[in-house]
Amino acid sequence: MPAKAAEEVTFATDAELLPRVLQPYKEHCKYLRTAEVTLRSGMPTARCEFAIPESCYIDDTGHLNAVEVNICYNQMMYYLVAKSVKEGLGDEFSSWTMADYWRRQLPDILIARLSSNFRRPINARSFQGEMEFRFLSRKAPAGSRPFLMAVTSHRYWDGDGGLCDGEVTLAITNVSDTSP
């Protein structure tokens, strides 16, 4: 059950939704462990716990790296969008059904731009992260199909002072002017 505070609604990790969101990932690449979603001033945010026991592509670097940040961002973002759809959070996702989300998860949610700033090394074995939607808008360029543009921020940290942050612009394609 959500906990309410002045214009905020928070949802604990959805134990049924999380495995479904991570289903497209190989078992050894499922890094997202928990995800608490909060709606603040009409915009959804997620605060998550991650663990990367072993890198899926390289020998141990001793710290979280850019490829893993991208994978963690994807998992966090997919969960945040899915939970937003399920709970009707945010104006742009409120008309979607879960069937709409599952149909769009992989082919229609695209990273248009990603930046990450590594400030201090993060222990990849156990760390936290958060992301928030900062701006979400429907765009309809002349001569092109409408899409949703989302500007998001992300941040990761560990118990030893590790820190990484950045910004991601998403394009959610195959939307129309009248349907989700």
Residue 180 falls inside a structural domain: no
Which helix (H) or strand (E) covers residue 116, if one does? strand 109-120
Structural domain of residue 85, as residue ranges?
3-172
Query: Is residue 123 included in any domain, yes or no?
Result: yes
Q: What is the pTM of this model?
A: 0.91
Q: How many residues does the chain have?
A: 180
Q: How many domains does the chain have?
A: 1
Q: Look at the block and give the residue holding tokens 């961002």.
A: 73
Q: Find the CATH number of the domain harbouring 97.
A: 3.10.129.30
Query: Tell me: the pLDDT tens digits for 35-89?
Result: 999 998 889 999 999 999 988 888 777 889 999 999 999 999 999 999 999 999 9
Residue 103 falls inside a structural domain: yes
**77, 131 in Cβ contact below 8 A?**
yes
> Cβ(117)–Cβ(162) under 8 Å?
no
% of the chain surpassing 90 pLDDT = 73
Angstrom distance (rounded) from CA 119 to CA 129: 14
Residue 178 lies in a domain: no
Alpha-carbon span 33 to 51, nearest angstrom: 7
Asked if residue 25 is part of any domain, the answer here is yes
In a domain, 14, yes or no: yes
